[in-house]
Structure 1
Amino acid sequence: MYPEEYPLTQPIDVHTASAARMYDFLLAGVNNYAVDRAACQELLAIAPSAQRIARTNRDFLQRVVRVLVEDYGIDQFLDHGSGLPTQENVHQIAQRINPQCKVAYIDDDPMVLAHGRTQLHENHNTMVLHADMRSTQHIVEKTEGFIDFRRPVAALFISVLHCLPDSDDDSDPAALIQRVAKELKGGGLMVVCQLVSEDPAVRQGVTDLMRQATKNHWGRVRTPEEVRGYFSGMTTLDPGLVDVVDWRPDIEPPPPHLRPTDWVEWGGVAQL
């Protein structure tokens, strides 16, 4: 871990569900509590494909990092809302290809920070920053010197923007993406995906459940068109904005009749 920024120790609320720990449970992880597992069971009742979607999203993360390092020469990553460490994290994928790749993990979940401190302390090309992903200026200031913003940087927002509520100020997800884009000079890349649904009942049901379970640490399941708006003014890389299972797949993606019909992870990669 980069020595300048060690994560802070904070109490972990084991009585309120955490989106990061719920995601960990859906990926068959062990860093979760009974409250997270109970919330996941309620979630699966509304959106039965939630576990499959979590795995599809994780596959996308691993695939997109590999493509950015191998095909675009990216060696610096800002992983916003990075979540709990699991197998094949960003630094593991990137540094396997290029050991000099630098990865800054950004999260404000105390359990994420504790695990990051434990698992990454001997890797000097990674750092874990305790910060709200919306605090762009703070993130830039704290990672400067570790990340060289004069060179290409990939900003990752993988399955996290649905955790942010809409607002009329610069904390709105769309405004956040545009703000971060302005900081990524010299051929930076923006990677965004979030949960979307064309079914109003699914959108509202999941949103209500998650807001209640996490005590309002949640935003909203959105529509594909709303996510498309995040990329305003950017040039998306092939194949554009899609269900992430279709983003440069390693194997043949499932046919339409075998795909979830309740919701999907939707997004892509844009060149700035």
Structure 2
Amino acid sequence: MSSLELRGITVRYGRFTAVDNVDLLVPEGTVTGLVGGSGSGKSTLGKAVVGLAPARSGRVLVDGSDASRRHGRSPVQLVFQNPYASLDPRMTVGASVAEALSGGALGRRAPRRERRAARDAEVRRYLELVGLDPSRAALTPDALSGGRRQRVALATGEGVRPAVLIADEMTSALDVSVQGAVLNLLRRLQRELGFAMLFISHNLAVVRHLCDQVAVMEGGHLVECGPAERVLAHPEHPTTRELISCVPGLALAEEAS
């Protein structure tokens, strides 16, 4: 298991500061929900963690070590809202998952035939892990539903065996009927594999279902952070209270408490 720690992360675009000096700890083996309104900086912070947004300053630590200085693949992986952002539409599902697999799992020193057999076995394993029939490995993403494409994106993200997973609004583009199944899958994988996860969302109802901790952003600043049960039942910041008021079930629970 690994933890993710952000220290003083700042992201600027010209004179505009999108993320301002954010400190955040995602404890090992837990899920932190990062919430906020549109333009609050939550997605920019997630992208800064994996180097897709230009961090002006700050450090990203995984288990206390600087993530940018680790050799090999990044210990942090990002799963996008739109799986087409991470899946090549020209590649089959199996090829996409195989490309993401960590080299150690495939035994690079083994003969080519053994490597291919090991690769195919790993592809099947990861597809089964996310609840997909391995026979779909021969399909391209356009032959799958949105929920199945998101499962493939999750399989490719897990194929790298990350210590930390960043999930950026990964269920918001899905039908409500599919969201629950994907969220249950995500929580099961997180518990079984033990990775820490930063789950970025505008939906507090989803965050309540999935997360151990809630962090709230507004105007590029982290304005509140704490255990999910406490933050959602007894919010301290006006932004948190406003977000809760937009979710009827949560608003009623807060009033009752």
**Which structure shows the higher strand fraction?**
2
TM-score by length of 2: 0.36
Tell which structure's C-alpha radius of gyration is larger.
Answer: 2
Point out which structure has higher relative CO (alpha carbons under 8 A, 6+ apart).
Answer: 2
